[in-house]
Structure 1
Amino acid sequence: MANANVLEQSWDVVIIGSGAAALSSALSAVTSTTPPPKVLLVDKAPEQWAGGNGYFTAGAYRTQHHGLADILPLVSNVTKDMEDKIDLPTYSAADFHNDLQRVTGGRSSEELGKYLVGESLDVVRWLKGFGVEWWLSFRRQAYEVDGRWVFWGGLHLTVKDGGKGLIKNLTDAVKQHGCTISHETAVTKLLTNSKGAVCGVEVEKGGRKYQLKSPSVVMCAGGFEANPELRKKYLGPGWELAHTRGTPYNTGDMLAAAVSLGAKMVGDFSPGGCHSTAWDAASPKDGGDREKTNEFTKSGYPLGLMLNAEGKRFVDEGIDLRNYTYAKFGRAILEQPNGIAFQIWDKDGQKWLRDEEYRDEIVPKIKADSIEELARKCSDEGLVDPSRFVRTVEEYNAAVAAHRDEHPDAKLNPAIRDGLSTQSSKMELELAKSNWAIPIVQPPFLAVKVTTGITFTFGGLAINPENAAVLREDGSEIEGLHCAGEMVGGLFYGNYPGGSGLTAGGVFGRRAGRAAALRAQKSKRMEKL
C-alpha cells in the first residue's frame, strides 16, 4: 500500500484503476521511453479488492491466429504427446471481424475493430513477455470427442488460474518495473490547465484531498455496472435488480468526470446495453465473491433447457456456440417474470457440465427422479406454473424424437453447430432449439436456479484508437487524457464475442500507456528549453 507522501509528488503518468487494462497501460508506459516515466496507479478500491473486474473473469483473451503453430509457443499446459490429439482450427482476422460485427448487429466501430483484431495476437505475445502464463483452454473451450480435444468458438487462450492468475501476473510485473499503486485513493476531479489540457487529478484518501500533477492521465476505471441507479437510468427498469458479478467499485465516476470536460459518450447506452450472463441466483447481489469469482457463471444451457418462472422456454438455447450467446442471454433472463430461470438437464446432459460451475460446493441443486417431481421442487424456488413446466419438457422431447426419426444418422457434437434440432416436417416448436437438442428423459433430473449477473456496461467514451486519447464532441482530443478498458465505447452493442473485452483492454491499454509516456517525455523536454 502506498503511503501518503506518494500523493504529494508529481508523476509523469497517472493511471486510474488496477484492473487488467490499467496494469497493461502501466507496463506499456514504463517500458516505452528511456528513462522510464514515473508511473502511479490510483484505485478507490481497497487493496483486497484490487484487480477490477479482470480478477473475476475466466482470464480468456480472444485473438486471431493460424492454429497450433501460433498458439503452442504461447502456452505452458500442452505436452508433446498431447499435440497430435488437438483439433484447433485457424481463427483468422476475418473470422474475428465477422464475429464482432455479427453478434453486435453490424454496429461495432469498424475503426476500433481494426485495431482490436489486428493487434490481438501481438498483445498476448507482449503480455507473455511480462510473465502472463497462457494456457490452452481445455476446460472451457474444448470437448473431448472420439479421443480428440476439439476446440470451438474462436476463444482458445486463457490464463493459468483465470482472472486471479492474470491480475497476479500483471501486478507482479508492474511492481517489478517500478510502478507505484495507491489503493483507497478516489479520484474526485480531472485537473486542467488554461488551455483545457488535463494536467493531473485531484484525489481523496483518508479524508484528505491531494492534487497530483501529471502531464498524462489514463482512465481505466470501468463502467457503471456496479451503480444500480445508473443501470436503471441507461439500461432500463429492472436492471437495478441484477447481481453485480465483479467489483462493487465500478460506479461510473470517471465517465462523469470526463463528460464534465466535454468528452463524447458513444456506444450502447440503450436498454440491455451491457455484458451479462446466467448467474447463480444464490450468489451475492452487490459484488462478486473473491474466492469463487467466475464460478457463479452458469453456462451449461446449450446442452439443456432454460425455463422461466412460468415454465416456458424464452431463448433458443442452441442458436449458437456459448461464446456468442451468454452475454445476451443474461439480459433475456432479467426480462423474465421475477428475473429468474431454471436450467435443467437429465442424466446424460449433466455429463457435459463443467465442474467449476456446477459442483455441489458451488451451486444449490434441485434433483428429482421425474420431471413432475422436479417441477414440484422448483415451485418451492419460484416456479409458479409447474404443470406448464412439465408440458414444456414433454413437448420438447416429442420434437426432439420427431427430428431424430427424420435424421437417424444425426450425432451430437457440442464443439460445432451440429444441427440436432427440434424442427422437422412432423413437428416444430414455436421456439426452436437449433443445435444440441438432446432429449431430457433419463433420471435423475437436475435443475439450477439462475438470475442475471451484470459484468460490464457497453456505453463509454469516444477515443482515437491510435493513441487511446479521449475525444470531445467535436472530434478533437482532450490533451493529456487517455482511456482504455471498459470505459471505451463503440465496440460492443447488445452482445459481444466472449474474450474480446480483455483483449481490447490489452490493445488500447498498451496504446494509451505508450502515448502517455511519450507525452510525459515531451513535456520534460519542453520544461528544459
Structure 2
Amino acid sequence: MQNNKHFDVVVVGTGNAALSAAVSASEKGAKVLMLEKGPEHKRGGNSFFTDGAIRFAYKDLDGIRRVVDHLSAEEASNIEMPEYDTGVFHEDLMKVTKGKSNPELADHLVSQSYETVLWMKEQGVKFVMNENQFFEKDGKKTFWGGLPVKTDNKGIGLVEALFKKAKEKGVEIWYESPAVKLEKADGKISAVHVNRKGDGETIVSTDSVILACGGFEANKKKRMEHLGDEWEDAVVRGSEYNTGDGITMALEAGAVRAGQYDGCHAHTTDYNAPRVGDYSKPGDIYKKSSYPLGLIVNTEGKRFVDEGADFRNYTYAKYGKETLKQPEHKAFQLYDSQVRPMLRVEYDLDEATVFKADTLEELALKMGVDKESFLKTIKDYNGAVQDGNYNPSIKDGKSTQGISPEKTNWALRFDKAPFYAYPVTCGITFTFGAIKVNDKAEVLDGSGHPVEGLYAAGEMVGELFYHNYPGGSGLMSGSVFGRTAGKSATECIEEKTLN
C-alpha cells in the first residue's frame, strides 16, 4: 500500500459536475486530482452521452446572445424567443417535481444558472442554438419549452472543453483508479483510498473530497432494490460506471440518504439500443423524443399515456418508466406522413429502428401487435379528435374527447399514409436518490451539520428532482453544484490556512 500522495482537493468522477468542480477549485490555485473508475477512452461520465441541451434563466433574447457566439442581428430578428427568467424556471422545476424539490437547492440551481453558463463559456465551453427546440414558419423560428441553447458538439464538446481547461490548470487525472473508501481524522475528511491501476491500493491524503461520480443507475442490483424488479431489464443510456460507489462511500463517512430513491430519469429509447452507453457512438442518438406529435401504443395495440400532456421537455423523463410497465417493456411510437417531416434528427439516423407501411393493417403486422385491438385504438382515437388550430410550437389545446387516455394537445387524425412505427423501451439516465447536500454543496450528516471536507455535485445531490425534471436541468445542476463545490472546498482550505 502506497501513501505518498497529497492533493488539496480530490474529485471523484470525470463528468460535467466533476470537471466543473475541478476547474473551479483550480481557479484558486488548489492542487487537484480527479479519479476515474473507467479507462481514459470511457471518461466523461453520463455527460459524454448527453445531447447537450442545458436549461438556464436567460430572461430574453439579449441574454441568449451573451451566451451564443455568432448570433447575428439578422438571425436574431427572425427568432421568436419567449422570456424565461428565474421565476419561470423555478415554477417549471416545482411543477414537474410536484413541489417536492428542496427550496434551498432549487433556489441555488435557478439563481446561479445564468451566471454559471457564462462561467462555462469563460472556461472554453461553446454554446449554440438548439435545433430541436423550435418550429419554423414563414422564416420565423419560434422556440418553446425553455431550452433554446445546447453545448456545441453535444456532451462530447462540453466535456472535452472542460478537460482541456482542467489540463491547462494542472489538474491531474488517474484513470482505471476507482475511489473505494474515505478516511477521516478528528472528524474531518483526511484521505481517499484508491485502487490505482498499476499501483494497487493507494492512500491519497487531502483536505477536501468532492464526490461527483453519479447515481446507481448502472447497478442492476441497486436498481431492483430501490426502483423495483422490472428495472433489471432497463437499458442504461450512459456510463456503465455509475454504480452508486460515491453514495456508499459518503454514507460510510457519515452522510445521510436524501431524495427519491424509487425515482429516476428514464427516457424512451430505441428498442434495439445497446444495453449500456456505446462510447464509439457518443451523443444521445438512441432516444426518441418527438412522441407529442404522434401516438404511443403497447404490444397489445393500446395507448397508455397522454402524448400531448405537455412539451416533451416536461414529460420525457417519466414516460420511459411508463413504457417499462408495459408488456415486454416495449411500446411503439407512431407517426403518419403529415407529421413525419417534423420529427427530430434521431429518427433519421441509421441506428433508428423503424417499420413503414402503406396501410394500418400492414403496420400492425410489421409491429407484431394485435391487429384488431390496434385498429380499434386508431379508429377510436381518430373519432375523438376535436377541431382546432394545430400549432406544435405552443400548447395548442387541440385535443380529443371521450377516450382514455385523452390527448390534450397536438391531436391530429392518424390517417395520412405512409405510416411509421418506432419500437422503444425504457432507458434509465440517472437516479434521483442520493445524499443530503446544502447550497454550498457541503455533504450533511444526520444532524444537518456538514461532514467537514466532503462535498457533492451532479447526480450525488439528493432532494433536487422528484418524479420528473425539466429537460436540461440535470446538466445545469451538475455545472452549478460542481462549480459551487470547487469554490466551497478551496474556501475551506483557505480558512484552515488562515487559522
TM range (shorter): over 0.9
Q: CA deviation at 1:89?
A: 1.1
- The equivalent of 1:16 in structure 2 is 12
2:371 and 2:495 map into 1 onto residues whose CA distance is 69
CA 1:281–1:289: 2 relative to 1, 3 Å:
farther
1:50 equivalent in alignment to 2:39 = no
2:81 paired residue number: 88
The CA deviation at 1:524 is 4.2
Q: Which residue, 182, 185, 188 being the options, matches 1:197?
A: 188
CA drift of 1:210 comes to 0.2
Q: Which amino acid aligns with 1:166?
A: L
Asked if the contact 1:37–1:521 (Cα under 8 Å) also holds between the matched residues in 2, the reply is no
SS at match of 1:344: strand
> 2:460 matched to 1:487?
yes
Residue of structure 1 aligned with 2:103, choices 110, 134, 142: 110
Could you tell me which of 377, 381, 386 is aligned with 2:371? Answer: 386
1:158 to 150, 158, 161: 150
CA 1:314–1:342 in 2, change beyond 3 Å: closer, same or farther? same
Give the one of 259, 262, 266 matched to 1:276: 266
d(CA) in 2 for partners of 1:223, 1:336: 25
Is 1:244 the counterpart of 2:229? The answer is no
- Look up the SS of the partner of 2:398 in the other structure: coil
Change (3 A) 1:161 1:77: farther
> Which residue of the other structure, out of 358, 365, 372, is the alignment partner of 1:376?
365
**Equivalent residue number for residue 420 of structure 1:** 398
Partner of 1:319 in structure 2? 309
Q: Does 1:361 align with 2:334?
A: no
CA RMSD of aligned residues (A): 1.4
Equivalent residue for 2:140?
A: 148
- Structure 2: how far apart are the matches of 1:372 and 1:77? 50
Spell out, residue by residue over 1:155-183, the C-alpha distance to the aligned partner (whole angstroms, 9 max, x if none).
12211111011011111111111111111
- Aligned partner letter, 2:408: S
- Do the aligned residues in 2 keep the contact of 1:51 with 1:167 (CA within 8 Å)? yes
> Following the alignment from structure 1 to structure 2, what is the Cα–Cα distance between the partners of residues 371 and 186?
52
Partner of 1:502: 475
Asked if structure 2 preserves the Cα contact closer than 8 Å seen for 1:108 and 1:492, the reply is yes
Q: 1 CA distance for matches of 2:115 and 2:62?
A: 14
- Indicate how the Cα distance of structure 1 residues 119 and 433 shifts in structure 2: closer, same or farther if over 3 A, else same: same
User: What residue in structure 2 maps to residue 30 of structure 1?
Assistant: 26
Specify every segment of 5 or more residues in structure 1 that has no aligned partner in the other structure, as ranges. 405-409
- Match among 166, 178, 187 for residue 186 of structure 1: 178
Contact 1:29 1:516 in 2 (8 A): yes
Deviation at 1:211, TM superposition (A): 0.2
Number of residue pairs matched by the alignment: 498
Other structure's SS at 1:294 match: coil
Q: Is the 8 A contact 2:264 2:430 kept in 1?
A: yes
Residues 333 and 341 in structure 1, CA contact (< 8 A), matched pair in contact too: yes
Deviation at 1:237, TM superposition (A): 1.6
Aligned equivalents of 1:215 and 1:100: distance in 2?
34
Measure how far apart 1:500 and its partner are.
0.6
What percent identity do the matched residue pairs reach? 43
Task: Write out per-residue CA displacement over residues 82-127 of structure 1, whole angstroms, 9 at most, x where no aligned residue.
Answer: 1111001111211111111110111111111110111110000011
| 1:77 to partner: Cα distance | 4.9
Q: Distance in 2 between matches of 1:478 and 1:290?
A: 39
Could you tell which deviates more after superposition, 149-158 or 284-293? 284-293
**3-state SS of 1:509 partner:** helix
Report matched runs for 1:130-529 at 5 Å: 130-137=123-130, 139-193=131-185, 195-206=186-197, 208-270=200-262, 273-355=263-345, 357-379=346-368, 383=369, 385-400=370-385, 403-404=386-387, 410-423=388-401, 428-465=402-439, 467-525=440-498
Structure 2 CA distance for aligned equivalents of residues 524 and 211 of structure 1: 23
- One-letter amino acid matched to 1:370: T
Provide the rounded CA distance (Å) in 2 between the counterparts of 1:435 and 1:8: 62
Q: Name the structure 2 match of 1:124.
A: 117
Instruction: Tell me the SS of whatever aligns to 2:339.
Output: helix
**Partners of 1:160 and 1:317 in 2: how far apart?**
29
- Whether contact under 8 Å (2:56, 2:114) holds in the other structure is yes
Q: Taking structure 1 as reference, are residues 292 and 392 closer, same or farther at Cα in structure 2, changes over 3 Å only?
A: farther
8 Å CA contact 1:56, 1:290 repeated in 2: no
Distance in structure 1 (CA, Å) of the matches to 2:497 and 2:177: 26
Bigger CA drift: 477-486 or 291-300?
291-300
1:187 CA displacement: 0.6
1:212 Cα shift?
A: 0.1
Query: What CA deviation, in whole Å up to 9, does each residue of 1:312-338 have, x standing for no partner?
Result: 100000000110000000110001111
Offset at 1:61?
A: 1.4
Q: In the aligned structure 2, how far is the partner of 1:307 from the partner of 1:416? A: 24
| 1:78 equivalent in structure 2 | 71
The aligned amino acid for 2:481 is: F
**Which residue of the partner structure matches residue 407 of structure 1?**
none
Tell me the distance in 2 between the aligned counterparts of 1:488 and 1:298. 27
Q: Secondary structure at the match of 2:338?
A: helix
User: SS state of the match for residue 105, structure 1?
Assistant: coil
1:41 to 21, 34, 45: 34
Distance 1:75 1:376 in 2: 47
Distance 2:33 2:279 in 1: 27
Q: How far apart, in 2, do the equivalents of 1:388 and 1:300 lie?
A: 24
Contact map agreement 2:49 2:277 (CA 8 A) in 1:
no
* TM-score, scaled relative to structure 1: 0.92
TM-score with structure 2 setting the length? 0.97
**Structure 2, unaligned runs of 5 or more:** none
User: What amino acid is aligned across from residue 233 of structure 1 in structure 2?
Assistant: E
Name the amino acid aligned to 2:196. K
Structure 1 runs (4+) deviating above 4 angstroms are none
Conserved 8 A contact 1:145-1:413: no
Displacement after TM superposition at 1:45 (Å): 1.1
Letter in 1 for 2:413: P
Q: Distance in 2 between matches of 1:307 and 1:170?
A: 41
SS at match of 1:331: helix
Q: 2 CA distance for matches of 1:513 and 1:72? A: 28
Distance in structure 1 (CA, Å) of the matches to 2:232 and 2:71: 43
Q: How many Å apart are 1:292 and its aligned residue? A: 4.2
Offset of residue 289 of structure 1 = 4.4
* Range moving further from structure 2, 60-69 or 21-30: 60-69
* Residue 362 (structure 1) shift: 2.0
Q: 1:142 & 1:371 partners in 2: Cα distance?
A: 30
